[in-house]
Structure 1
Amino acid sequence: MADTPLLAIDGLNLHYRTGNGVVRAVDGIDLTVNRGEALVVLGESGCGKSSLAKALLRVLPRNIARFDGRVAIDGMDTMALGEERFRREVRWQRISFVMQAAMNALNPVVRVGEQVAEPLRLHRGVDRSRAADRARAVFELVGVPAGFLQRYPFELSGGMRQRVVLAMALITEPDLVILDEPTSALDVLTQASIMNRLKAIKRETGTAFMLITHDVATSSEIADRVALMYAGQIVEHAPAETFFTEPAHPYARLLMASVPRLRQAERPRSIPGEPPSLAAPPAGCRFAERCPRRFERCADDPPAFRVDRRHDARCWLFASGGRP
């Protein structure tokens, strides 16, 4: 079990049935998350990142056209579990979730201390007094004064509300916390403060994180590995230090070139074109129409090729192995 990843995703699909056809939001994704590491799932809005989180937690709408693949925690296939067993053993026990808009996750008429303690009482059967003590400890862990336990959500700033939702995700001591754009609505200083707090929590508790974001700068603060998502697929997967300094996939290279940097002579460049519709993705490489290095073979859908040790890219340029 020591070599078994905490989370292993193999061939995961989540498609939605809509009036415009079937939307292939998550389309054959393979990923792993190891214990105590931070995996960043990076990509543009609409590429399927949030749908990936919903698939892992099985928080699904009714218009599902396809939902299959394998999602294993410590080798146990969670897709084989019934809904009730999944709720008892996985959701908020092994995997918890921090959604993008903190106010949407909080009941405006219930004190935040009670809301943070609720998962512990619901999933573990802990009595009110012990749950309140644990909530106080978790508030300290995420940097919220204990006096805030008695406040209502509207009495807190956006940054404090986000910390409260993080405390709610950590209260049951899950192995993995999925965070969906946790700092996108916050100012830069508050973003930095929360990212520093996440790094401290990861170091102190050994909790693994999956950070879903479109923000390259923020993600670089915590990432151990990066999975770049485009049009429902993972197109590059690499250690963070490799991805941010030597991106391989043409989309990754253009994405990094679009990020402003201090002491940079070149001006940031935009990525031409628009992402394809997930209801009608192209038959070949999904980035081909925007790619400056497109060639004939891009008419076929590429698999993931090995670029370097622990570094893969879904691009025909790497079909012969190594860098083109």
Structure 2
Amino acid sequence: MSEPTLLRVADLALHYRTRRGVVRAVDGVGFDLRRNEALVVLGESGCGKSSLARALMRVLPRNVQHTGGRVMLGETEVTALPDERFRREVQWSRMALVMQASMNALNPVVRVGEQVAEPLRVLRGWSRRRALERAAEVFGLVGVSTDFLSRYPFELSGGMRQRAVLAMALVAEPELVILDEPTSALDVLTQAGIMNALKRIKREQGTSFILITHDVATSSELADRVALMYAGQFVEVADADAFFSRPAHPYSRMLMASVPRLRQRSRPEAIPGQPPNLFDPPSGCRFAARCPHRFARCAHDPEAIRLGERHRVRCWLHDESTRRGGA
């Protein structure tokens, strides 16, 4: 029996105002996430992955031009909540974020344990002793000795600091944790340790994850589902097995062909061209200029076409009329 749906996102948008114009960083994204499920969001740098995390968590810069869409967390429409209520009832307590390069954001003059315990003291009014006891529990969960609770951030390695930040996100037992490139600045062995900790937390705690990354190999360790993002849109969302073995979108196929593999005779293939300018994205398929299969219909924005129960692809090649020979 499948797990119930935890998160539903429909037509999510986040646009920034700059001197050069409006950047449509997230432009009509929709997906769902079940409880105890891990969704990996893949994509090139600049495609809008980090902006997606900011939009979901309302961690927004001052130059926001437009936000829109609907986000349901369980039975709560969180997009309808006032900012103060969202901060009090959702942020950290139900949905937490580990931001990119967050391990460098720890306060250097405050002991690590105090920083991990802070969300419980601020949001729930716990005593310092009780909050530190919970911080010690979560340190054990992420594989860090409780000896590190009394240390300062500069006394921890990069991997230990990343685990401490992960502990901070988990300390209030949120239903969903969003991780933005959590292993990008770490060596391979430390990356493996972090991913093993996430798998254990998912298995033992039932936590759902959204992992944002450009690292296909690392993401495959945790993924139950994969969403491929391109130029502010999701172009394919599929179960991990289907995505990694039978990608449907041309961009998905080219991305998988670019990944080095063991026991592979052929060389990895580069993806030609550059992503479109998000100040003025094309009106049709945003991947068309780089796609070897483009045809006349690609001048129109493709719909999200259903290939399976939870498999969607944004490409006219999979439309029924195209398969019948129409254009």
Q: TM-score of the superposition, structure 1-length normalised?
A: 0.97
- CA positional deviation for 1:19: 1.0
* Corresponding residue for residue 264 of structure 1: 264
- Listed one character per residue, the Cα deviations across residues 18-62 of structure 1 (whole Å, up to 9, x for unaligned) are 111110001001011111110001101100000000001101111
Using the alignment, how far apart are the partners of 1:62 and 1:102 within structure 2? 20
1:88 is aligned to 2:72? no
1:293 is aligned to 2:298? no
In the TM superposition, 1:97-246 aligns within 5 A as 97-246=97-246
Q: Is the 8 A contact 2:96 2:174 kept in 1?
A: yes
Q: Is the 8 A contact 1:305 1:321 kept in 2?
A: no
Using the alignment, how far apart are the partners of 1:188 and 1:141 within structure 2? 21
Q: Is the 8 A contact 1:307 1:323 kept in 2?
A: no
- Name the amino acid aligned to 2:107: N
Using the alignment, how far apart are the partners of 1:319 and 1:30 within structure 2? 19
Using the alignment, how far apart are the partners of 1:249 and 1:272 within structure 2? 16
Q: Is the 8 A contact 2:3 2:36 kept in 1?
A: no
Using the alignment, how far apart are the partners of 1:273 and 1:84 within structure 2? 44
- CA positional deviation for 1:321: 8.1
- Listed one character per residue, the Cα deviations across residues 267-323 of structure 1 (whole Å, up to 9, x for unaligned) are 000000000111110110000000011111000000111223321110000011898
Using the alignment, how far apart are the partners of 1:323 and 1:310 within structure 2? 21
Taking a change above 3 Å as real, the CA distance of residues 41 and 322 of structure 1, as seen in their structure-2 partners, is farther
Taking a change above 3 Å as real, the CA distance of residues 162 and 322 of structure 1, as seen in their structure-2 partners, is farther
Using the alignment, how far apart are the partners of 1:321 and 1:60 within structure 2? 41
Q: Is the 8 A contact 1:98 1:177 kept in 2?
A: yes
Using the alignment, how far apart are the partners of 2:4 and 2:35 within structure 1? 9
- Name the amino acid aligned to 1:248: A
Q: Is the 8 A contact 2:49 2:212 kept in 1?
A: yes
- Name the amino acid aligned to 2:8: A
* Corresponding residue for residue 51 of structure 2: 51
* Corresponding residue for residue 319 of structure 2: 319
- Listed one character per residue, the Cα deviations across residues 220-263 of structure 1 (whole Å, up to 9, x for unaligned) are 00000001000000000000011001001000000000000000
Taking a change above 3 Å as real, the CA distance of residues 253 and 109 of structure 1, as seen in their structure-2 partners, is same
* Corresponding residue for residue 274 of structure 1: 274
SS at match of 1:284: coil
Aligned-pair identity (%): 69
Using the alignment, how far apart are the partners of 1:271 and 1:20 within structure 2? 27
Q: Is the 8 A contact 2:3 2:34 kept in 1?
A: no
SS at match of 2:39: strand
What residue ranges of structure 2 are gaps of 5+ in the alignment? none
Which moved further from structure 2: 73-82 or 263-272?
Answer: 73-82
- Name the amino acid aligned to 1:59: V
Using the alignment, how far apart are the partners of 1:70 and 1:18 within structure 2? 25
Q: Is the 8 A contact 1:285 1:299 kept in 2?
A: yes
Using the alignment, how far apart are the partners of 2:4 and 2:184 within structure 1? 33
Taking a change above 3 Å as real, the CA distance of residues 165 and 272 of structure 1, as seen in their structure-2 partners, is same
Using the alignment, how far apart are the partners of 2:262 and 2:111 within structure 1? 43
Aligned length: 323
* Corresponding residue for residue 70 of structure 1: 70
Which moved further from structure 2: 103-112 or 217-226?
Answer: 103-112
Using the alignment, how far apart are the partners of 1:4 and 1:275 within structure 2? 36
- Name the amino acid aligned to 1:261: R
Using the alignment, how far apart are the partners of 1:103 and 1:308 within structure 2? 39
Using the alignment, how far apart are the partners of 2:243 and 2:103 within structure 1? 33
- CA positional deviation for 1:107: 0.3
- CA positional deviation for 1:64: 1.3
- CA positional deviation for 1:100: 1.8
Using the alignment, how far apart are the partners of 2:199 and 2:75 within structure 1? 26
What residue ranges of structure 1 are gaps of 5+ in the alignment? none
- Name the amino acid aligned to 2:232: G
Using the alignment, how far apart are the partners of 2:277 and 2:95 within structure 1? 30
Using the alignment, how far apart are the partners of 1:244 and 1:141 within structure 2? 30
Q: Is the 8 A contact 1:99 1:105 kept in 2?
A: no
Q: TM-score of the superposition, structure 2-length normalised?
A: 0.96
Task: Give the 4+ runs in structure 1 shifted more than 3 A.
Answer: 321-324
Taking a change above 3 Å as real, the CA distance of residues 49 and 30 of structure 1, as seen in their structure-2 partners, is same
